[in-house]
Amino acid sequence: MSWFSLRRLRALLRKEVIQMRRDRITFAMMIGVPLMQLLLFGFAINNDPKDLPAALVAPTQDRYSRAIVTALEMTGYYRFDHITSSAAEAEALIERGAVSFVVTIPSDFDRRIDKGDNPQILIEADATDPAVASGAISTLGQVASEALLHESGQEAEAADAARSQLEVVVHRRYNPEGVTQYNIVPGLLGVILQMTMVMMTSMALTREVERGTMENLLAMPATGLEIMLGKILPYLGVGAVQVALVLSAAKALFGVPFVGSLWLLLTGVFIFVLSLVLLGYTISTAARTQMQAMQLTFFFFLPSLLLSGFMFPYRGMPVWAQVLGELFPLTHFLRMIRAVMLKGADLTNVSAPMAALVVFVLAYAGIALTRFRRTLD
Amino acid sequence: MSTEPAIRVEGLVKRFGDRTVVDHVSMDVNRGQITGFLGPNGSGKTTMIRVMCGLLTADGGTGTVLGYQLGRDTRRIKSEIGYMTQRFSLYEDLTIRENLAFVAGLYGLRPLRKVVDEVLEGLGLSSRQHQLAGALSGGWKQRMALAACVMHKPRLLLLDEPTAGVDPKARRDFWEEIHHLAAGGMTVLVSTHYMDEAERCHFVNYISYGKLVASGTVEEVIAHAGLTTFLLEGEMEKVTAAERMLRGMPGVAETAPFGTSLHVVGRDAAALKDSVQHVAAETGTRMSATETSLEDAFIRFMSEAQDNMA
Ligand SMILES: Nc1ncnc2c1ncn2[C@@H]1O[C@H](COP(=O)(O)OP(=O)(O)OP(=O)(O)O)[C@@H](O)[C@H]1O
Ligand SMILES: [Mg+2]
């Protein structure tokens, strides 16, 4: 007797699909919950995060640029992790999401000040999450001017020039108008999928136990792997329906732009959904009743909502919360989908979140298979 | 064909927490026979059956099922036996046909459609094949559950109280089917609380509080009980009075009224006879010796086991 048989899997799948079709609540959840959440979460919860990673592009390290950098760091919004002279390197950093800002001070900055000639600095902000960018940007112009004024205090002439002429150019990247929905709606796809996928699969085994059908199922020659696949694969179909629904609504209702590769996005969504159904199934191997399964699901659901960067900007959270946030597939999914949908990121840019999602898939599958009880003990 | 029994367990122990539910039970189930498995509620029948089909792991003892080692060849055992659970455990939200197709698929039976058609036909379920299992009456559910566990033609069938809550006609049909299957070479172990069903078995095992108390053919079990039984007959008031008088008299172990007659059972034949003669004379009832029934024997086993516990 083999440990895997397509024929047995087919029997399990057919049974699950019939049961799903006859279960009205499942259908209501499939369609109703995504739509309801999509509308409810139309408004975001804003925040004013601080200590955001930034890159400085300053070919010459003159005293004026040092003064501006110090002043910006004093505001508490900026943390210059990267100082470079290469614009390309800074571009890569913001693309990858390693920094939220790039501050560029041109090479002729000090000469222009000294000549009293219209100095300029450029701030590029990653505005995919507008809440991140807004506070930091609003303080910028004033702080920079004051710094300059102070630095050149002994040279009254130059100071006057600086005060009147410093020009701060702000580029909001990826989401130029700072529309919150652009950030929220892709995230919402993750939250909706997580809610329904985990909840439904977390009852997969407990339902059998509570209805007394587990005894019969275990008495027949189906293996743990077959039962697991039979339970989770149908929900990939449900996930596909939800993805189609939310993405269409994102376009139709909120006009969220979609600049990246659809295939890359769908690949990421697929891996994410796979990790969710496996997580749900893992919960169902641990829970004894459907009630417990429900509670475990919420035990997981709430922190993931708060810590993933969906509700509050990830960078706005204290470090311990960020570390915890890494433990949720949703966190990595949000990075992936925002990068792909709003920034047009390619695979190399989102390889880290993709890899993290794959790790979740493997880990959950491993735990579920080892935890699965082949007996009624 | 080998003469090795279909099931042989030795010193089987199963505990739940610190409660020993099956306590060093050794028993055989012979090939090609219908073996009855009896015992009061909570005596451990279901637990034993679950251990034997690999659904529970024993805490002690060894056993073979169809020649496979218990606890080691679980997958083989599962694929070669049929198990009908005490509680209905097929899917109520699937139709009869869908349920059977599911089971057939899990056993890898082919061609699926034909196999299911045949089973439906064979058990007279064709006309209801598209009804949801949850909407069926007890008798039909039981019939469907039987169909589901014989479909793959197992060599051994474990039936856990298959006829509980089923009307007499359906029970009779069910037993006809069981005998038919046994005649075809299938070994059957069936647990039951019904005496008439026990009497239809080739062999019976009786367990009480997790211990095997008696086993053998029905005659052997009755003989093993070593009981003498008298019958007292007369008008109702007289029989009632006789029963009241007999209680606690020397040699009298049990009394059981059956309409206008009274079964009086005891182990000490001489003392029992004296007591019954005395009471018959007092109350004016007719006394006769009769054969001890299986039920008399079991009731006796049950109260002896209770005395031992106390
Ligand atoms: N999973 C379990 N956990 C704890 N105790 C259990 C479990 N299953 C059964 N028991 C206990 O073990 C004892 C034997 O139960 P079992 O179901 O085997 O009896 P039974 O002979 O089948 O009874 P019945 O005739 O009522 O079906 C009972 O007292 C029961 O409460
Ligand atoms: Mg039982």
User: Can you give the CATH number for the domain in which A91 is found?
Assistant: 3.40.1710.10
Q: Are A208 and A336 contained in the same domain?
A: yes
Nearest CA to CA, how far is B58 from chain A (Å)?
10
Alpha-carbon B205 to chain mean position: 8
Q: Which residue has the tokens 């050149």?
A: A152
**Alpha-carbon distance B130 to nearest alpha carbon in chain A (angstroms):** 13
A308 occurs within a structural domain: yes
> Domain tally for chain A?
2
Same domain, A98 and A229: no
Residue B1: the pLDDT is 47
Residue of A nearest to B101 (CA): A11
Q: Which residues pair with B286 in a beta bridge?
A: B233
Dihedral over Cα of A259, A263, A264, A270: its sign: positive
- DSSP result, A304-349: HHHHSSSSS-GGGS-HHHHHHHTTSHHHHHHHHHHHHHHH---TTT
Give me the pLDDT at residue A147, please: 73
Which band of pLDDT confidence, cut at 50, 70 and 90, is reported for residue A44?
very low
Choose the final residue of a domain: A173, A193, A212. Answer: A173
Residue B96 CA to ligand 1 center (angstroms) comes to 29
Question: Last residue of some domain: A138, A173, A208?
Answer: A173
* Residue A336 is assigned to a structural domain of this protein: yes
The pLDDT-based confidence of A109 (bands split at 50, 70, 90) is confident
- Which of A6, A8, A15, A229 best tests the B interface by mutation, with the highest count of B CBs <10 A? A15
Question: A139-148, A161-170, B74-83 — which one is most confidently predicted on average?
Answer: B74-83
Concatenated DSSP letters of A213-273: -HHHHHHTT--HHHHHHHHHHHHHHHHHHHHHHHHHHHHHTT-----S-HHHHHHHHHHHH
pLDDT at residue B104, as a whole number: 96
- Does A207 map to a domain? yes
Q: What was the pLDDT predicted at B186?
A: 95
Q: Which residue has the higher pLDDT, A37 or B215?
A: B215
A233, A112: one domain: no
Which one of A108-112, A137-141, B254-258 scores highest in mean pLDDT?
A: B254-258
Q: Using a 6 Å CB cutoff, which residues line ligand 1?
A: B 16, 21, 39, 41-47, 86
Up-side HSE of residue A304: CA atoms within 13 Å toward CB? Answer: 25
| Same domain, residue pair A99 and A222 | no
Q: A215, B106: Cβ pair inside 8 Å?
A: no
**Interface contact B104, partner A, CB < 8 A:** yes
Mean pLDDT, range A226-231, rounded to an integer: 95
Between B285 and A314, where is the model more confident? B285
**Is the predicted pLDDT of residue A323 greater than 60, yes or no?**
yes
Residue A375 reports pLDDT greater than 80: yes
- Round to whole Å and give the CA distance between A270 and A232: 13
Tell me the pLDDT band of A181, cut-offs 50, 70 and 90. Answer: low
Identify all chain A residues contacting B65, using CB atoms and an 8 Å cutoff: none
Q: Which of A143, A173, A203 is the last residue of a domain?
A: A173
Residue A7 touches chain B, beta carbons under 8 Å: yes
A194 and A297 both lie in a single domain? yes
Here the tokens at position A67 are 């003064």
| B13–A contact, CB cutoff 8 A | no
Answer whether residue A363 is part of any domain.
yes
Do A143 and A200 share a domain, yes or no? no
Can you tell me the ipTM of this complex?
0.89
Per-residue confidence (pLDDT) for residue A93, from 0 to 100: 87
Query: The tokens of B56 are what?
Result: 């529970």
Instruction: Look at residue A36 and tell me if it is in a domain.
Output: no
Structural domains of chain B sorted by starting position, each given as residue range(s) with its CATH number in brackets: 7-222 (3.40.50.300), 228-291 (3.30.70.100)
DSSP bridge partners of B29: B7
pLDDT tens track for B95-142? 999 999 999 999 999 899 999 999 999 888 899 999 999 999 988 999
A176 pLDDT above the threshold of 70: no
Residue A374 banded pLDDT, cuts 50, 70, 90: confident
A122 in a domain, yes or no? yes
Q: Where are the beta strands (DSSP E) in chain A?
A: 52-57, 78-84, 101-104, 120-126, 167-173
pLDDT attached to residue A70: 83
For chain A, percent of residues with pLDDT exceeding 90: 34
B66 torsion bin: left (phi>0), alpha (psi -120 to 50), beta (else): left
Is A5 within 8 Å of B108 when comparing Cβ atoms?
A: yes
Q: To the nearest whole angstrom, how far is the Cα of A274 from the nearest Cα of chain B? A: 24
Q: Does residue A192 sit in the same domain as residue A318? A: yes
In a domain? residue A26: no
Place of tokens 């059908």: A213
Name which of B53, B95, B106 to mutate to probe chain A: the one with the most chain A Cβ atoms within 10 A of its Cβ.
Answer: B106
Q: Both tokens of residue A175?
A: 């989401």
Q: Distance between CA A14 and CA A5 in Å, rounded?
A: 14
Please say whether the beta carbons of A377 and B50 come within 8 A: no
Give Rg (Cα) of chain A: 26
Low-confidence ranges of chain B (pLDDT < 70): 1-2, 307-310
Instruction: Please tell me the distance from the alpha carbon of residue B218 to that of residue B222, in angstroms, as a whole number.
Output: 6
Pair A102, A187 in one domain: no
Place of tokens 């006057």: A160
| Same domain membership, residue A191 and residue A149 | no
Residue A312 structural domain: 180-371
Measure the CA–CA gap between A17 and A237, rounded to whole angstroms. 10
Number of the ligand closest to the Cα of A288: 1
Q: Which residues of B246-278 are buried (b: 16+ CB within 10 A; e: fewer)?
A: beebebbbbbeeeeebbbbbbeeeeebbebbee
Do A202 and A340 sit in the same domain of this protein? yes
Q: Are residues A231 and A202 in the same domain?
A: yes
Q: Are A22 and B108 within 8 A, CB to CB? A: no
Q: Residue A8 domain-assigned?
A: no
Could you report the per-residue pLDDT of B35-52, keeping only the tens digit for each?
999 999 999 999 999 999
Same structural domain, A225 and A261: yes
Cα–Cα dist A147/A150, whole Å: 5
Instruction: Give the range among A168-172, A249-253, B192-196 with minimum mean pLDDT.
Output: A168-172
Q: Could you give the CA distance from residue A203 to residue A131 in angstroms, rounded to a whole number? A: 37
